[in-house]
Amino acid sequence: MKNTTIIKLMLLILIALTLSSCGKSKPVLYIFNWSDYIDPVLIKEFEVANNCKIKYSTYDSNENMITKIKSARESFDVVFPSGDHVSILKEAGLLESLNRTKLTNYRNLNSGLLSKAQVFDNANEYSVPYFWGLTGLMYNKRYVPAELVAKQSWSIVGDPFFKAKNKVTMLDDAREVIGAALVYNGFDLNDTSEAALATAKKTLDAWDVNITQFDSDSYKNEVPDGTTWLAQSYNGDVLQQMAENKELGFFLPSEGSSLWMDNVVILKSSQNKELAYKFLDFLLEVNTAKRNAEYTQYATPNKAAHELLSDDIKNNALIYPSQEYLAKCYMIMALGNDVKKIDALYEAIKMN
């Protein structure tokens, strides 16, 4: 009897050790993405379907993302840079040239948007479009008067109404902050001429009197709770919050804005490229892309998924603006050494 019990116990221990060993042997995929930028249910589904583990980390700016990639001890596999930073990563030799034969769902992408993506990734060699969107202004209706919002202008950032209230924030992103001032003054946000930047500086000096901080993440909580009343923000982030809080508002400034496209890339240093390809193809699958677009509230470059979206989403001008409005928007481009002029102006404004 005792011998039988001992044998059973040994078998249970052996099974437990085997299961533990299996768990440890699961392949791990390291993903580096913006916060709130994928339906978390999809992460779990991919792990189950591929018997793997995803280690998911987030960043709040492209600059922080690049710094972390260069300094991290463990290599990330899949990253989600904006278009201009695809160029920067590519020029630094950090990206894997994609083998599209491993992306069976690549055909679902909108060919027109793939063409636009070639301004930062010639021949779409290194990146797959993920979402595209625009930057505008989020506000709390309890504190910001309707007549102030009525002009739908970038000028609201510098309005005397906010003076000494410490209730205005802008993104911690040089291209977005300087870009907003450039577009407000009628310039292309990629213009680094002396005249354009001097004009932008004059505007930013006036706005900076009202600006409390430059932050790309906390506004999602601070505008709803009243810590911040007005924030430069990404459209999808705001729409996620607006679905839960009717006191929030958002507008795309009448002067125009930045138009950006975020992308999925595989790093050359990835230790699990086959699993990374599976993850990219999973994101491109039509129903996955549809559900992800519904969750993030951003515009999908996946044409097949877009066709399945509800009319409420497809007709929402804050997600899919009119062609007339898009004509006033500018794709953020890689500027080479000229970006140092924008960075220097941004740092000077932050130091004020």
Which range has the top average pLDDT, 10-14, 17-21, 157-161? 157-161
Report whether pLDDT(102) > 80. Answer: yes
Q: To which residue do tokens 């109404």 refer?
A: 161
Report whether pLDDT(79) > 60. Answer: yes
Average pLDDT in the 21-37 region? 83
Band of the pLDDT at 1, cuts 50, 70, 90?
A: very low
pLDDT given for residue 352 in this prediction: 80
pLDDT given for residue 3 in this prediction: 45
Band of the pLDDT at 8, cuts 50, 70, 90?
A: very low
341-350 pLDDT per residue, tens: 999 999 999 9
pLDDT given for residue 75 in this prediction: 86
Report whether pLDDT(4) > 50. Answer: no
pLDDT: which is higher, 248 or 13: 248
pLDDT given for residue 96 in this prediction: 97
Report whether pLDDT(70) > 80. Answer: yes
190-244 pLDDT per residue, tens: 999 999 999 999 999 999 999 999 999 999 999 999 999 999 999 999 999 999 9
Report whether pLDDT(118) > 70. Answer: yes
pLDDT given for residue 72 in this prediction: 77
For the chain, give the mean pLDDT: 93
Band of the pLDDT at 77, cuts 50, 70, 90?
A: very high
133-259+326-351 topology per CATH: D-Maltodextrin-Binding Protein; domain 2 (3.40.190)
CATH 3.30.70.640 fits 25-132+260-320, yes or no: no
pLDDT given for residue 269 in this prediction: 95
pLDDT given for residue 24 in this prediction: 59
Average pLDDT in the 290-314 region? 97
Whole-model pTM: value is: 0.87
CATH 3.40.190.10 in the chain is located at 25-132+260-320, 133-259+326-351
42-51 pLDDT per residue, tens: 999 999 999 9
Report whether pLDDT(351) > 90. Answer: no
